[in-house]
Amino acid sequence: MNVTKNMRWMVLWGVVAGPVLGCGGKPVPPEQERVVLRVPLYSWIPDAAGDKFQALSARLEAEFEAEHPEVDLDVNPSCFKDDLYEPSELARSLRGEGECPYDVVEVDTSLLGELVGTGAVRPWSALPEGPRWHLAGVSASTFEGKLYGVPHWQCAHYIISRDEAVSRARTVDELVQALAALNTPAMDLSANFLGSWNLPSLYLDAWTDTHGPANVQSAVTAEHYDADVLAGMKKLAGACATSEGNPCIDGTYDAEANLDVPDVLLAEGRADATLGFSERLHGILKKLPSAESRAALRISPAPLGQGNQPLLFTDSFFLGERCTGACEQAAQAFVAYMTRSSTYQWIVLGEDAPAEGRVPRYLMPANLDVYELPGVKADPFYPVIGAATATGAPFPNKGLLNIRKSMRDAIQAALQ
């Protein structure tokens, strides 16, 4: 998942206070006997309750500590200020050298090779038992034959529209043609194509759509670019053009203040489609005019090249090298709690939010059993997301960090 996601967790988490009984009524051990486990979570998910994640934070800590009274869980410690896309910062804190030391961190696996290279993380002994893991998530979390991450969330690029022909498009050419055929006064497409993580990621997805996923690691390079892939991306970016210019590639939508604009334009009918991760659907549904039916919306895997092979990003939990003994046991219990179906269910369905006006987060769980839960299967959009997930391949987990800006500049020039 790259950092163009515009629904950011705020750094304000507090520790749940007060005595809690453990399972079977077991009292909480004295504070000095409890293991403190500090875990910054991945920062870019929808704030379903609109409360800056206070209800979600409180429930995570309370539920986990009720089952594990020997652990004092501190989710997103208030001192946390590291950039989750800077391995050097993460390494310092995982080693306990920074102002905010922590034990486990949830990070995008596109950084896995670089994070392992710091020596600040070490492999897990095994995945938690129970979940039916998406193989792409496990592959993305594995480096040099060792499991360094426990998969949590996945992401893929989708087209969100109101037209069945648009959602049926299976190549970038078909998509551009379907959008043009609508012939509405609205923009054909409204989306942000820029960003040093976003644009290279779109290119790698388009490359995979065209050539298949087997050798996508070879496309992580600033030495050469596939002309056919760039041509398809340029056609799609051209669908954003208006009489005033092209806000998808001129920096308009890449500005921090405008990250939500593509969603607003689609919700208000001023754009025929948008491109982004599935969780953008959460914000679009909240922005729909009250009289508009949600049933009109369609979500489908985005065909960015000459095919439609979803490429999945994965956010995984990583274990700090100094978290051993009781700390490691607490960490293993925590990732098991976070990745079981019952925990996933209330998070993906946004049940930390009040029932009235509640909207699912439309995040993609790495535990495939979650898609079979009744509440998830009954949602009008999650079955489509689940089907797309099933065929997804893993995004590369090394090499992009240090060349992403060079890739962005070259690809951006090709789209102009």
- Taking only the tens place, the pLDDT of each residue in 205-244 is 999 999 999 999 999 999 999 999 999 999 999 999 999 9
CA trace torsion 331, 334, 338, 339 (10° rounding): 60
Burial of residue 146 (CB within 10 Å: 0-12, 13-18, 19+) is exposed
| Contact predicate 278/385, CB 8 Å | yes
Count of C-beta atoms within a 10 Å radius of residue 79? 16
Extract the tokens encoding 112: 């896995």
Say what the pLDDT of residue 13 is.
Answer: 32
Rounded Cα–Cα distance for residues 284 and 264 (Å):
7
Closest CA to 308 of 191, 169, 180, 177: 169
Letter string b/e over residues 13-33, b meaning 16 or more CB atoms within 10 A of that residue's CB: beebeeeeebeeeeebeeeee
Measure the CA–CA gap between 319 and 323, rounded to whole angstroms: 7
- Identify which of 271, 301, 140, 332 has the alpha carbon closest to the alpha carbon of residue 217: 140
Residues in Cβ contact with 194 at an 8 Å cutoff, skipping those fewer than 6 apart:
248, 249, 251, 253, 254, 408, 412
Model pTM score: 0.91
> For residue 71, which phi and psi values (nearest 5 degrees)?
-115, 135
Each residue of 35-87: pLDDT tens digit?
Answer: 999 999 998 999 999 888 889 989 999 999 999 999 999 998 989 999 999 99
Q: In whole numbers, what is the pLDDT of the chain averaged over residues?
A: 92
Whole-angstrom distance, CA of residue 339 vs CA of residue 354: 23
